[in-house]
């Protein structure tokens, strides 16, 4: 398996996802103490009878053995990439879901959501061996040539929910970092410095993959199924999404309330994406969305922008997708992330794999709490962040919330 040695390789592989677990063995995932990264739990906090249910570099394995405290550690070398703490309880393994509750962010990777425009992938990505390998794996898993579709279209297929979600999460539009923007050493330093991550909507899968909560193969299968399930749910009812620009969240809610007074229950709308002050996305039935658009000016909205998505994401309209996601997640191996991954649903980092599965199933019907996520990171002391992927939507949101925030876009 190819080794992912630097940020250039990482970014060339994916516009959002860093498949560290399947494509690389990286030393930054190993942390024998908490001195360099406060978000990675200290060995001194490990109770007796701990089972390290993951892998780490053999050369530092001895650092985890503490005979003086009689810690009984079982090291299973699965991939030399990550470590998490679990405690055996009877026949099952229990992981503390609040493992990262006291996280102190310093440097973050932020991943965008579904890319709905018609950007096309570049063949330069194939010049990076690890990227070419992942393209081939993706084609085998998906059953179609993703690179060919993203390069040649047709547009209607490229814009489908399935293709949009897969392309947004798993492959790059251009290997910008491999164009010499950084030395290999500088790129690796960036990767090593990341101690928290999160993603907008679909980007949460990206963040979980970067944190090695699941493998490239499993992540790709989940995103493909998620896109299919959401497309089917969208086809079952006439629905849409619209961005409201220039209003705060309270006024957007009042706008939704006014629109809901004029439509049937089945067409009611709600705020689906809390992006940042002055930018909120509303989802709901088509008639409800049309009512929102018609009333927006009277509420002094600067403008409305209909989103190029299949339906009312992050609302009850996606309920039919939940059961399919739950079934797929139930059979997917999800592990404790190696660093905190902030959930879109409740703005918390979760350590328990079962809780993560539940959160991912709920996410498609729950409003995206991105505004609160960014505020929380900044309040907790975030010093530097990177947006990975096409466009600069995330960077724009962060700057709107804090003009002094240090954020850099990589992959635009």
DSSP 129-195: HHHHHHHHHHHHHHSS-HHHHHHH--HHHHTSHHHHHHHHHHS-S--GGGGTTS-HHHHHHHHHH--
Asked if pLDDT for residue 408 goes beyond 90, the answer is yes
pLDDT for the residue 120:
44
Structure tokens, 80? 């030399």
pLDDT band at 335 (very low <50, low <70, confident <90, very high): very high
The CA angle 356-359-362, to the nearest 5 degrees, is: 155
Asked if pLDDT for residue 7 goes beyond 90, the answer is no
- Could you tell me whether strands 107-111 and 384-388 are parallel, antiparallel, or unpaired per DSSP bridges? parallel
CA dist 146 and 140 (Å) reads 10
Sheet (strand 50-52) strand order: 50-52, 85-89, 92-94
Contact between 198 and 108 under an 8 Å Cβ cutoff? The reply is: yes
Give residue-wise pLDDT tens across range 258-282. 999 999 999 999 999 999 999 999 9
Start-end ranges of CATH 3.30.70.250 in the chain?
A: 238-311
Asked if pLDDT for residue 186 goes beyond 80, the answer is no
Per CATH, the number for 238-311 is: 3.30.70.250
CA dist 384 and 398 (Å) reads 11
CA dist 339 and 320 (Å) reads 32
Annotated catalytic sites, by residue? 201, 314
Structure tokens, 9? 């390789």
Report pTM: 0.73
CA dist 284 and 103 (Å) reads 35
The CA angle 207-209-215, to the nearest 5 degrees, is: 170
Identify the CA nearest to 307 among candidates 277, 281, 285.
281
Start-end ranges of CATH 3.40.366.10 in the chain?
A: 7-23+106-232+319-410
CA dist 339 and 39 (Å) reads 7
Give residue-wise pLDDT tens across range 33-62. 333 444 543 333 333 333 333 333 233 233
CA dist 53 and 90 (Å) reads 15
Distance of CA 300 to the CA centre of its chain: 33
Average the pLDDT over 92-96 and give the result.
68
Average the pLDDT over 21-43 and give the result.
34
Q: 7-23+106-232+319-410 belongs to which homologous superfamily?
A: Malonyl-Coenzyme A Acyl Carrier Protein, domain 2 (3.40.366.10)
Share of the chain above pLDDT 70, in %: 62
More confident residue, 372 or 90: 372
Average the pLDDT over 294-300 and give the result.
98
* CA 110, 114, 118, 124 torsion-angle sign: positive
* Mean pLDDT of the residues in the chain: 74
């Amino acid at each position: 398996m190819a080794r992912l040695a630097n940020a250039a390789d990482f970014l060339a592989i994916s516009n959002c996802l860093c498949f560290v677990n399947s494509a690389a063995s990286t030393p930054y995932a190993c942390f024998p103490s908490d001195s360099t990264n406060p978000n990675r739990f200290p060995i001194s906090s490990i109770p007796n009878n701990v089972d390290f249910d993951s892998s780490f570099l053999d050369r530092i394995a001895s650092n985890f053995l503490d005979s003086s405290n009689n810690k009984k550690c079982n090291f299973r070398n699965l991939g030399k990439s990550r470590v998490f703490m679990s405690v055996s309880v009877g026949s099952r393994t229990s992981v503390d879901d609040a493992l990262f509750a006291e996280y102190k962010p310093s440097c973050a990777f932020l991943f965008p959501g579904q890319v709905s425009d018609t950007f096309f992938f570049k063949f330069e990505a194939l010049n990076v061996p690890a990227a070419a390998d992942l393209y081939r794996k993706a084609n085998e898993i998906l059953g179609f040539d993703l690179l060919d579709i993203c390069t040649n279209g047709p547009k209607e297929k490229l814009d489908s929910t399935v293709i949009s979600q897969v392309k947004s999460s798993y492959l790059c539009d251009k290997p910008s970092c491999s164009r010499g923007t950084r030395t290999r050493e500088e790129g690796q330093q960036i990767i090593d410095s990341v101690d928290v991550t999160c993603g907008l909507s679909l980007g949460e899968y990206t963040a979980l993959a970067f944190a090695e909560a699941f493998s490239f193969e499993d992540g790709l299968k989940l995103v493909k199924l998620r896109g299919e399930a959401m497309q089917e749910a969208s086809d079952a009812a006439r629905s849409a999404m619209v961005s409201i620009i220039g209003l705060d969240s309270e006024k957007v809610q009042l706008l939704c309330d006014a629109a809901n007074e004029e439509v049937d229950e089945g067409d009611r709308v709600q705020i689906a994406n809390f992006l940042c002050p002055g930018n909120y996305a509303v989802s709901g039935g088509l008639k409800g969305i049309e009512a929102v658009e018609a009333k927006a000016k009277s509420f002094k909205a600067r403008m409305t922008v209909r989103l190029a998505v299949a339906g009312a994401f992050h609302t009850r309209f996606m309920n039919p997708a939940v059961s399919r996601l739950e079934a797929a997640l139930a059979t997917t191996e999800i592990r404790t992330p190696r660093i905190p991954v902030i959930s879109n649903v409740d703005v918390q980092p979760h350590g328990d794999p079962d809780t993560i599965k539940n959160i991912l199933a709920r996410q498609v019907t729950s409003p995206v709490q991105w505004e609160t996520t960014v505020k929380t990171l900044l309040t907790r002391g975030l010093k530097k962040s990177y947006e990975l992927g096409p466009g600069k939507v995330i960077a724009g949101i962060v700057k709107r919330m804090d003009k002094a925030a240090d954020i850099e876009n990589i992959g635009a």
